[in-house]
Amino acid sequence: MVFLFLSFSYISVDEVVKEMDKYTIVDVRSSYEYRIEHIKGAISAPVNI
């Protein structure tokens, strides 16, 4: 049996920029959009809905 606990919160862009090392940025746009432009260090996890 596998348990997965996820949590997230909304924060301002300014807060992210100040403390990038504290956060994991997940880009849910298509792979094509990610290749064109994304936040440095962001993880690509496309959602196809």
pLDDT tens figures, 21-37: 888 889 999 999 999 99
Are 38 and 44 in contact, with CB atoms under 8 Å apart? yes
Q: Distance between CA atoms of 7 and 38, rounded to whole angstroms?
A: 22
Q: Average pLDDT, stretch 4-13?
A: 79
Q: Is the pLDDT of residue 42 over 80?
A: yes
